Amino acid sequence: MKLDTSGLESTAPHLGAICEPFSSFASAPSFDLPVTTDFDGFQKESVQMVKPAKGTTTLAFIFKEGVMVAADSRASMGGYISSQSVKKIIEINPYMLGTMAGGAADCQFWHRNLGIKCRLHELANKRRISVTGASKLLANILYSYRGMGLSVGTMIAGWDETGPGLYYVDSEGGRLKGTRFSVGSGSPYAYGVLDSGYKYDLSVEEAAELARRAIYHATFRDGASGGVASVYHVGPNGWKKLSGDDVGELYYKYNPISTSTVEQEMAESSST
């Protein structure tokens, strides 16, 4: 099976005879494959060992002022919370964001790789890459590893010459252009809040509050989502982080505890 390692090719000059003993390090490392007749079975077992973080809630939507992107920050390994502070919104470059859902290492590595390819595109073509192009680059790489056990469910959000752009790309090789997406185990809850509150003509503050609420409600009901709800806005001048709020504190902000006077309590208890 010929793997697509174009994503790993280095354009650095080869160092020649001086570094011969280290030539295996200088050239682009390729993925070692296990020597086994049952590749799928081996991958299934090693996925059990690695237990990639799958529980998550991420969402993104296009509106009048650009793209709003939000995510939680919990990483779980089975039932254990391995981290409450994972960065699930990855800054590919100053005007493009990617969201992370599925295997944390897969998303981190391939988003960083995408950032490198986008920068190389800029240097080679003297102009920024479009969101369409960037998402296609990522989708092609993921398609070439289809069936090998990568787990990536990401959204590429950015602002290019044609305006705001949003694509959903996953490790099955799917790539969808759209205006509203939510990915992860908490996505059904997020969609409920997002779809009912969405209007194209939202202001930046209203859209941020909608995104924040959608993530908050998903973390409330989905055990695999939690931590900090981060909200980013992508505008014509690039992305900007708008807020990062602990969802535990958001609960008390949305459901304030009302203190009642002692007289009121006594009146209530005597009447029952």
Q: So which residues are the catalytic ones?
A: 56
Q: Smaller CB distance to another protein: residue 22 or 254?
A: 22
The distance of closest approach from Cβ of residue 107 to another protein in the complex, given in angstroms and rounded to an integer, is 8
The distance of closest approach from Cβ of residue 8 to another protein in the complex, given in angstroms and rounded to an integer, is 8
Report d(CA 114, CA 92) in Å as an integer: 7
| Burial (CB count within 10 angstroms: exposed 0-12, middle 13-18, buried 19+), residue 192 | middle
Q: What are the phi and psi torsion angles at 12 (to 5°)?
A: -70, 150
Q: Smaller CB distance to another protein: residue 148 or 204?
A: 148
Report d(CA 97, CA 58) in Å as an integer: 12
Report d(CA 213, CA 202) in Å as an integer: 15
Q: Does 108 bind another protein (CB under 8 A)?
A: yes
Q: Could you tell me which stretch among 58-66, 84-92, 129-137, 182-190 binds another protein (CB under 8 A)? A: 84-92
Four-residue CA torsion sign, 168, 169, 171, 173: positive
Q: Does 29 bind another protein (CB under 8 A)?
A: yes
Range 86-105, binding another protein (CB under 8 A): 86-87, 103-105
> What are the Cα distances from residue 244, in Å, to 80, 98, 151, 212?
23, 17, 26, 9
The distance of closest approach from Cβ of residue 74 to another protein in the complex, given in angstroms and rounded to an integer, is 11
Q: Which residues lie below 8 Å from residue 43, measured CB to CB, with a gap of 6+?
A: 148, 149
Among 4, 38, 195, 268, binds another protein (CB under 8 A): 38
Report d(CA 165, CA 149) in Å as an integer: 28
Range 41-70, binding another protein (CB under 8 A): 41, 43, 45-46, 49-50, 52-53
Q: Smaller CB distance to another protein: residue 37 or 269?
A: 37
Q: Where are the alpha helices (DSSP H) in the chain?
A: 23-26, 39-50, 104-125, 131-144, 187-197, 204-221, 247-254, 262-271
The distance of closest approach from Cβ of residue 66 to another protein in the complex, given in angstroms and rounded to an integer, is 18
| Closest C-alpha to 166, from 233, 105, 212, 216 | 233
Q: Could you tell me which stretch among 55-63, 78-86, 90-98, 115-123 binds another protein (CB under 8 A)? A: 78-86
Among 9, 20, 32, 263, binds another protein (CB under 8 A): 32
Contact 171, 153 (CB under 8 A): yes
Q: Could you tell me which stretch among 115-123, 131-139, 200-208, 225-233 binds another protein (CB under 8 A)? A: 225-233
Q: Which residues bind another protein (CB under 8 A)?
A: 19, 22, 25, 29-34, 36, 38, 41, 43, 45-46, 49-50, 52-53, 73, 77, 80, 82-87, 103-109, 148-150, 227-228, 230, 241-246
